[in-house]
Structure 1
Amino acid sequence: MTAVGFLYPGRSAEDDYPRIEQLLGSDIRLALVHTDIGEDAHRVDALLEMGSAARLAAGVEELRLSGAEAVVWACTSGSFVFGWDGAHDQVRSLAKAAGLPASSTSFAFAHAIRELGAARVAIAATYPEDVAAHFREFLQADGVEVVSMRGSGIITAAEVGTWGWDEVLALARAGDHPDAQAVLLPDTALHTGAYVRDLESELDKPVLTANQVTVWEALRLVGRRVNAPALGALFTKEPLIQVPG
């Protein structure tokens, strides 16, 4: 049995995690602890507070008691707003507090993009444009070419959590770009666990969603590789894209 842990901000799409656990179809347990988010707002100041070291440290003891072997801060905006270097500091503080290997959803996206071999991506974000721009800059700092970025202007995670298949598909289609080798949906408040394979079928390219990559990152930290086609190209045995060296 492999157990991995997640610090999840508030309550919006946390039910993606038991759903993904079922789709993995293996001896893997996903342990989730809710963190206090403070103000529910996709605003830089609120997001910096949401991802503060003190708020994250408050949840690590419960994760340790769950038997988790690694921990991921399951929040994209509450990590990339710190910038590339600041997000590294955030993860180092979390690892020290938890005494476990640690990462965040923002780094999960960066690592997943590399896993797929995608050099050019499109961002289809629920956030306001100014917040989404921080994610673009985060990825660019890792050498990723962002060929397009679309924000949706949604302020609260609570609203994002009400979106279903129709809204998620519309978001992905609107954010896609013909030059993109993968489309990114960066919000852990967005329900996507049941939709990844269908999104990839509709767009005819890999789709990376926040809760999907967060789980993949946790498994990467503990050296587990799971073939789960229902979770899309990222969870198949071989990358779909080969970028010339």
Structure 2
Amino acid sequence: MTALGFLYPGHSAEDDYPRIEQLLGSDIRLQVVHTDIGEDAHRVDALLEMGSAARLASGVEELRLSGAEAVVWACTSGSFVYGWEGAHDQVRALALAAGLPASSTSFAFAHAAHELGAKRVAIAATYPDDVAALFASFLTEAGLEVVSVRGSGIITAAEVGTWGEAEVLALARGADHPEAQALLLPDTALHTASCIPALEKELGKPVLTANQVTVREALRLADRRVNAPELGALFTREPIVQA
């Protein structure tokens, strides 16, 4: 049994995790611990507070007791908002507090895109434009070319969590770009676990979603690979070996 830990802010789309656990179909357990979201706002000051070391550390003991082998901060905006170096500092502090290998959803997106060999990406964000632009900057620091960015102007994770498959598909269609080798949907508050195959069929390319890549990142930290076609190209393709 491989136990993987996730610190998830508040309550929006955490039910993606038991769904993904089922789709993995193996001896893998996904343990979700909720952190205090503070002010629910896709606004820089609120996001910085949401991802603060104190808020993340408060959930660490529960994860340790669960037997988790690795921990991922399951929040994209609450990690990339710190910038490339700041996000590294955040993860280092989390690893030290937990005594476990650690990462965040922002790094999960970068690793997933590189694993698929996708050098050019498009972003379909629920966030306001200024926050979406910060994610684009983070990915550029990670060595990716962002060919387009679309924000949706949604302020709260609570509202994002009400979106269904129709809204997710519409966002993806509207944000895709012909030069993009993958489309990224960066919000762990967005329910996507049940519609990744439909998204990839619609767009004809890999689609990376926040909760999907977060789980893949935890598996990477635990040195596990799982073939799970219902979770899209990321869980079916062999990783690209970089020259």
For the criterion TM > 0.5, the same-fold answer is: yes
Q: Which amino acid aligns with 1:77?
A: S
Q: Is the 1:4–1:218 contact (alpha carbons within 8 Å) kept by the matching residues of 2?
A: yes
TM-score (norm 1): 0.98
Aligned to 1:117: 117
Superimposed CA distance per residue, residues 70-119 of structure 1 (whole angstroms, 9 cap, x where no aligned partner)? 00000000000000000000000000000000000000000001000001
- Number of aligned residue pairs: 243
Alignment of 1:33-44 (within 5 A): 33-44=33-44
Q: Is the 1:118–1:243 contact (alpha carbons within 8 Å) kept by the matching residues of 2?
A: no
Equivalent-residue separation in structure 2 for 1:29 and 1:142 (angstroms):
29
Equivalent-residue separation in structure 2 for 1:181 and 1:237 (angstroms):
14
Equivalent-residue separation in structure 1 for 2:66 and 2:151 (angstroms):
36
DSSP-derived class of the 2:97 partner: helix
Aligned to 1:220: 220
What residue ranges of structure 2 are gaps of 5+ in the alignment?
A: none
Equivalent-residue separation in structure 2 for 1:26 and 1:193 (angstroms):
17
Equivalent-residue separation in structure 2 for 1:142 and 1:93 (angstroms):
20
TM superposition shift of 1:143 = 1.2
DSSP-derived class of the 1:33 partner: strand
Q: Is the 1:122–1:183 contact (alpha carbons within 8 Å) kept by the matching residues of 2?
A: yes
Alignment of 1:120-159 (within 5 A): 120-159=120-159
DSSP-derived class of the 2:226 partner: coil
Equivalent-residue separation in structure 1 for 2:118 and 2:95 (angstroms):
28
TM superposition shift of 1:237 = 3.8
Aligned to 1:70: 70
TM superposition shift of 1:243 = 9.8
Q: Which amino acid aligns with 1:160?
A: V
TM-score (norm 2): 0.98
Q: Is the 1:123–1:186 contact (alpha carbons within 8 Å) kept by the matching residues of 2?
A: yes
TM superposition shift of 1:155 = 0.2
TM superposition shift of 1:238 = 2.2
TM superposition shift of 1:172 = 0.5
DSSP-derived class of the 2:34 partner: strand
Q: Is the 1:76–1:106 contact (alpha carbons within 8 Å) kept by the matching residues of 2?
A: yes
CA RMSD of aligned residues (A): 1.2
Alignment of 1:62-211 (within 5 A): 62-211=62-211
Structure 1 position 11 matched with structure 2 position 8: no
Q: Is the 2:33–2:63 contact (alpha carbons within 8 Å) kept by the matching residues of 1?
A: yes
Q: Which amino acid aligns with 2:48?
A: L
TM superposition shift of 1:142 = 1.2
TM superposition shift of 1:3 = 0.3
Q: Is the 1:3–1:29 contact (alpha carbons within 8 Å) kept by the matching residues of 2?
A: yes
**For the structure 1 residues 26 and 113, does the alpha-carbon distance in structure 2 shift closer, same or farther, using more than 3 Å as the test?**
same
Superimposed CA distance per residue, residues 127-182 of structure 1 (whole angstroms, 9 cap, x where no aligned partner)? 00000000000000111000000000000000000000000000111110000000
Equivalent-residue separation in structure 1 for 2:93 and 2:241 (angstroms):
34
DSSP-derived class of the 2:135 partner: helix
Equivalent-residue separation in structure 1 for 2:162 and 2:73 (angstroms):
22
What residue ranges of structure 1 are gaps of 5+ in the alignment?
A: none
Equivalent-residue separation in structure 1 for 2:242 and 2:96 (angstroms):
38
Equivalent-residue separation in structure 2 for 1:100 and 1:118 (angstroms):
29
Equivalent-residue separation in structure 1 for 2:106 and 2:152 (angstroms):
19
Equivalent-residue separation in structure 1 for 2:242 and 2:78 (angstroms):
33
Q: Which amino acid aligns with 2:3?
A: A
Aligned to 2:50: 50
